[in-house]
Amino acid sequence: MTVQHTDLDDDLGDGVDPEHMTLAQWEMFDSELKHELVEGVLIVSPPETYLNRRAAMRLALRLEGIDGVECTTDTGVTLDAHAPTVRCPDLVVARAGVGDVTALSAIDILLVAEVVAPSSRETDWVTKRGAYARAGIGNYLVVDRRRRRLVLFSEPVDGRYTQQSIGEPVALVFGEHTVELTLADLTD
């Protein structure tokens, strides 16, 4: 949902238009709600459900401890600095040692994962898949609990993922480490 300016007066501060924000203004925005920036427009999302958060956490626990990678939830990833776009995937797997930043650079991202909610189905399956591929993020995992699907999109070329791994298990590869993953690992 796009939030109207009147809803954000207290959080945004003077002179900030939620429909024409810069990356710097987004970084300064203080809200406990999940918020993203899409081509300069502030997008505020409802909180994730318990089961969706649990699925993202289980994925993080499966990947934590792999040499050279770090996992975090609900962290901003700058996809486009010119048309200010920052997405906050449910899980981000980044190269180790990226530092303490408000939003990670897409170049440091090894994998992003979205756990599909009813309100985000089209955004997660279509919109974000295209945005992540255009930014050059090598792997995009979609966890759809309701449809019982786990899909890994990989190898972006010219703004599109060229590979899809449908079915189980899905193999996540980080250097010499491979993690095989099923939907049951995240949801049961």
pTM of the model: 0.85
Q: Per-residue pLDDT tens for 33-85? A: 677 888 888 888 888 899 999 999 999 999 999 999 999 987 899 998 888 88
**Gap between the Cα atoms of 124 and 158, Å rounded:** 20
**Closest to 30 (Cα-Cα) out of 40, 50, 19, 44:** 44
- Return the sign of the alpha-carbon dihedral for residues 108, 74, 72, 128: negative
User: Does the pLDDT value for residue 3 go beyond 60?
Assistant: no
- Return the sign of the alpha-carbon dihedral for residues 18, 24, 29, 34: positive
Residue 94 and residue 122 in contact, taking contact as beta carbons nearer than 8 Å: no
pLDDT number for residue 39: 85
User: Does the pLDDT value for residue 103 go beyond 60?
Assistant: yes
Average pLDDT across the chain, whole number: 86
**Closest to 23 (Cα-Cα) out of 72, 79, 89, 100:** 79
**Gap between the Cα atoms of 95 and 81, Å rounded:** 20
Higher local confidence (pLDDT), 173 or 8: 173
Which residue in the block uniquely carries the two structure tokens 């810069």?
Answer: 22
Tell me, letter by letter, the H, E, C secondary structure of 85-115.
EEECCCEEEEECCCCCCCEEEHHHEEEEEEE
Report DSSP state, residue 138. S
